[in-house]
A and B are shown apart, each in its own frame.
Chain A
Amino acid sequence: MSAFTLSAAEWDVLRLSVKVALGATLLILPLGVFMGYLLARREFRGRTIVEILITLPLVMPPVATGLILLLLLGRESIVGGWLERAFGIRFVFNTKGAVVAAAVVSFPLLVKAAQLAFSGVDPRLEGAARTLGAGRGRTFFAVSLPLAWPGVAAGLVLAFARCLGEFGATIVFAGNVAGRTRILPLAMYNAYQSPDGMGEATRLLVLSVLIASAALVAGTWLDRRGKKKLGRMDAS
């Protein structure tokens, strides 16, 4: 095989990685945006605790996050055991587990970005919408979210990139299963450990650089588009 041609197994790794990262990003999108808005706009009891809980996976070793997930959602845990008996849902050694692990570690990135973005929205604009008769929901979707979108989008891109880099929580919680949980970093690690795997490791390395760069380009583009839109809104 030539140095730059991906094998079928490497294509599978790429497909799975993008699938897991996209799945996790979509999974955290609604709650992440909501929590960002809540933390930017509302004071409530237990706010500090909520903020700490959300931020923990960002500062904890990912392996610790994986271990917590295993204790909470593993087959022998209360929640995990119930989910398996009642719905047949299994996370350990399963793609669902890889998605959950990626979602948990990338969640703080989205919330932090969304919180910052919503803090930057002028509350008077939201107030004006309310006085003009728009309900809370309509104000959020017609005023707050569009204005905060560039920051939220940047948070989504960051979260997506973090999902693609996931290793620690995934290998502990979801394991190393070809085609199910072996995403790019795990495949790279496997290849590097094999006596003749340096070629494969290098190809996967090039892949992850390309994907990360594409995500950053997409993020910049979203950001610019959002700012342009805001500029037009200011002008009108």
Chain B
Amino acid sequence: MARTHRAKEPPPRRPARWGLALVLLLAAGCTARPEVRVGAAMSLYDVLPGILSEAEDAVEVTFAGSSTLVRQVAAGAPIDVLVTADRDSLRPVADRFEVLCVAATNRLVRIEPQDGGTAGPLALAAPHVPAGRYARRVLPAAALGEVVTFDHVRGVLAAVARGDASAGVVYATDADIAKGVDIAYVFPKDTHDPIVYPLLLLRGEHDAAAARALFEAFLTPDAARAFRRRGFRVVAEATER
């Protein structure tokens, strides 16, 4: 009897120990959290490792279609430095950045599967994604036919490389690194607005010094080399605010 009675009593001290363990765990989690966060357009997927190689541990990178990133930032996502693939998609965050600087430029190409054309549809990024907007400007609406859309330009690339789509429109830099696709046509520069990658230092509750250091890492000669190695053209025109 006495034993069962004792067993029913809550064991003293243990909850306190668990609580301490939890606090320690949370504290450890906090110190391990990245200091700065980058949101980058999907087409920069292969460039960023070259730029961030030194600071990589302290930086968390999110890749997505530019419109997705902008929507996330507008909704309060903790991103410090944002690189998108056009200026148009920046409208929702127009009042949220401290500095804007065009980091690089790109070209638009039409790609086809390497093993020859198929009967599939044309693959494009969705109209709300920069790559999709550029593509719809260079292609007359009548020539579009059946279109399969993707949330970002790398989805287009994958569909054409698999041969499921008969052709697609992507950036030259995407086509260069992809296996299984051929560049069928390079759209002349005057057929579309210049494809620029604005780099934004966002206002927020971040570690301002670390964020600015990261922002400036994109503008170093090393970064320029990383961009060029992947086929981008580098320009630098800053707009301080």
Contact = CB atoms under 8 A, between A and B. Distances in A.
B74 to A, nearest CB: 10
Nearest to A179: B146
Contacts of B128: 193-195, 197
Interface stretch (A27-35, A146-154, A170-178): A170-178
A164 to B, nearest CB: 21
Interface residues of A, number: 17
Given A194-B127, A195-B67, A176 B148 contact: yes
Given A76-B162, A93-B148, A177-B148, A193 B67 contact: yes
Interface string A173-195: 00111111000000000100111
12 contacts: A75-B118, A75-B120, A93-B159, A175-B148, A175-B159, A175-B164, A177-B121, A180-B146, A190-B149, A194-B126, A195-B92, A195-B128
B148 A76 contact: no
Interface residues of B, number: 24
Q: Which of A90, A178, A195 has the most CB of B within 10 A?
A: A195
Interface string A4-44: 00000000000000000000000000000000000000000
A177 B67 CA distance: 20
Which of B71, B118, B148 lies at the interface centre, i.e. has the most chain A CB atoms within 10 A of its CB?
B148
A92 interface: yes
B73 interface: no
A176 B149 contact: yes
Nearest to A80: B164
B165 interface: yes
Interface string B143-163: 000111111000000010011
Contact of B165 (A93, A178, A193): A93
Contacts of B147: 177-178
Given A92-B164, A193-B68, A194-B127, 8 more contacts: A74-B164, A76-B162, A90-B120, A93-B165, A175-B159, A175-B164, A193-B126, A195-B128
